[in-house]
Amino acid sequence: MGEPRRPDRVAEAIREEVATFLAEGAKDPRIRAFVTVTAVDVTRDLRHATVFVSLMGDEADKKKTVEGLASVATHLRSKLGKSLRLRSAPEIHFRADESVARASRIESLLAQIRDEREQQEPTAPGDATGDAGPSTD
């Protein structure tokens, strides 16, 4: 029964190793954008790992960074095999995770709506707030 959880444990270990590698040992000059490992998805047979990364920077830097990450994937695979002591290390595939950028965009839109509503609110006391409603004496 422990088998379904093993890919999850391996995915978490891979996430930690990849984050450490990118923070300390990535030597590819194309990796220019700020990279954060957000998640790792590992197939049940542990042969493939999709690493989701959040990239901060302009579009050109993001594109170059994705190319750089793809080029270090084989080196990273051998490093993972040694550090995690797996019989065969999974193939590493990097994917841009747009969820952080999407959440930031949604947050800014909500803030903009809030600001617009505050500017349109009536300033007279009791208008549309229900504070000075009719008395029930």
Query: According to the model, what pLDDT value does residue 3 have?
Result: 52
pLDDT above 80 for 112: yes
Mean pLDDT of 55-71: 84
| Number of domains into which the chain is organized | 1
Strands in 91-96's sheet, in edge-to-edge order, are 34-42, 48-56, 91-96
In a domain, 137, yes or no: no
Percent of the chain clearing pLDDT 70 (strictly above): 84
* pLDDT mean over 20-47: 82
The answer to the question of residue 63 being in a domain is yes
Residue 129 included in any domain: no
Record the tokens describing residue 126, joined without a space: 């009791």
> Burial letters for 38-74: b for 16+ Cβ neighbours within 10 Å, e otherwise?
bebbbeeebeebbbbbbbeeeeebbebbbebbeebbe
Q: How far, in Å, CA of 133 to CA of 8, rounded?
A: 56
Percentage, residues of the chain above pLDDT 90: 7
CATH number, domain containing residue 63: 3.30.300.20
pLDDT tens by residue, 74-91: 888 888 888 888 788 888
Residue 134 in domain: no
56 forms beta bridges with 34
**pTM strictly above 0.85:** no
Reference 91, options 42, 24, 35; nearest CA is 42
pLDDT given at position 78: 87
**The pairing of beta strand 48-56 with beta strand 34-42:** antiparallel
The verdict on residue 81 lying in a domain is: yes
pLDDT higher than threshold 60 for residue 114 = yes
Whether pLDDT at 1 is above 50: no
- Identify whether 28 is part of a domain: yes
74 lies in some domain: yes
62 φ/ψ angles, rounded to the nearest 5 degrees? -65, -45
> Can you give the residue range of the structural domain that contains 84?
3-120
